């Protein structure tokens, strides 16, 4: 399909987005999309809508034991029915996570807990994961999660309206004061 034939491509775009084209038609449209960014964007937008339709499918209860079978399949070395463990009690935390949001404008200032005692456990069934809100002027702008087990990980979630040009620094601090900067986004101070 030549570049000039965007009209024909757009005729088939809904069917492409819904994966309802035959192989030959599909190949024809894809060849055009390789060369036409405008049509590509239009197809992407329609595909996004088509994907949303899948979320309308009613939920259904899986057979009994499904959850355990899945967990056993992905973690064959660990029984799915293992009791919840709290391997990092709050009072004896080996290390604390210190988070600060530094930047100009409305995001300026400290955010998050000043010390480890502000952390909460993330909920039933996830007791070894620690949670802390990231706040700015008392308003929650995100969350931080810390899994202190091996391998350990830190997960930060910021709300979409946080400015992308703001500075964000994440530092892991040991009780003895030693700290490691894990993440630093934005321009230097």
Partner 1 sequence: MGLTDDALLAGLGTGESQLAQAFVGRFQRAVFGIAYRVVGDSGRAEDVAQQAFEHAWRHAETYDPRRGSVRGWLVRITHNLAVDAVRMRRSAPVDPHDLQEYLPAILRTPEHDTLAEEKSTQLRAVLAAIPREQARAVIMASIHAMTAHEIAEIEKIPLGTAKYRIRAGLIKLHSALPAPRDDYA
CA torsion, points 66, 69, 75, 77, in degrees to nearest 10? 150
Residue 110 near residue 132, CB atoms below 8 Å: no
Contact string 46-85 vs partner 1 (x = CB under 8 A): x-xxxxxxxxxxxxxxxx--xx-xxx-xxx--xxx-x-xx
CB of 171 to partner 1, least distance (A): 19
| Site for partner 1 contains 8 (CB under 8 A) | no
Among positions 28-47, residues that touch partner 1 (CB under 8 A) are 38, 41-42, 44-46
Among positions 160-179, residues that touch partner 1 (CB under 8 A) are none
Buried b (16+ CB within 10 A) or exposed e, 86-119: eebeeeebebbbbbbbbbeeebeeebbbeebeeb
Stretch that binds partner 1, among 12-20, 88-96, 161-169, 176-184 (CB under 8 A): 12-20
115 or 120: CB nearest partner 1: 120
Q: How far is it, in rounded angstroms, from Cα 46 to Cα 125?
A: 39
Identify the DSSP state of 177: S
CB of 15 to partner 1, least distance (A): 6
**3-state per-residue secondary structure call for 98-146:** EEEEECCHHHCCCCCCCCHHHCEECCCCCCCCEEEEEEECCEEEEEEEE
Stretch that binds partner 1, among 28-36, 101-109, 116-124, 173-181 (CB under 8 A): 116-124
Name the nearest CA neighbour of 4 among 30, 32, 26, 24.
Answer: 32
Judged by CB under 8 A, the residue of 115, 117, 118, 126 near partner 1 is 126
Q: Which residues make up the interface to partner 1 (CB under 8 A)? A: 10-11, 13-15, 17-22, 38, 41-42, 44-46, 48-63, 66-67, 69-71, 73-75, 78-80, 82, 84-85, 120, 122-123, 125-129, 131, 143, 145, 147, 149, 151, 153, 155, 157
């Amino acid at each position: 399909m030549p570049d000039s034939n965007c009209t024909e491509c757009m005729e088939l775009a809904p069917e492409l987005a819904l994966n309802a084209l035959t192989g030959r038609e599909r190949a024809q449209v894809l060849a055009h999309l390789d060369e036409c960014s405008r049509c590509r964007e239009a197809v992407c937008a329609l595909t996004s809508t088509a994907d949303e339709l899948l979320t309308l499918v009613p939920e259904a209860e899986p057979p009994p034991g499904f959850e355990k079978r899945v967990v056993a399949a992905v973690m064959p070395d660990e029984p799915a029915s293992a009791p919840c463990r709290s391997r990092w009690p709050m009072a004896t935390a080996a290390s604390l996570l210190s988070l600060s949001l530094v930047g100009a404008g409305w995001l300026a200032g400290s955010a998050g807990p000043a010390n480890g005692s502000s952390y909460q456990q993330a909920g039933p069934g996830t007791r070894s994961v620690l949670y802390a809100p990231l706040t700015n002027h008392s308003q929650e702008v995100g969350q931080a999660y810390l899994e202190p087990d091996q391998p350990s990980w830190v997960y930060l979630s910021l709300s979409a309206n946080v400015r992308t040009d703001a500075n964000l620094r994440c530092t892991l601090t040991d009780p003895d004061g030693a700290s490691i900067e894990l993440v630093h986004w934005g321009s230097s101070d």
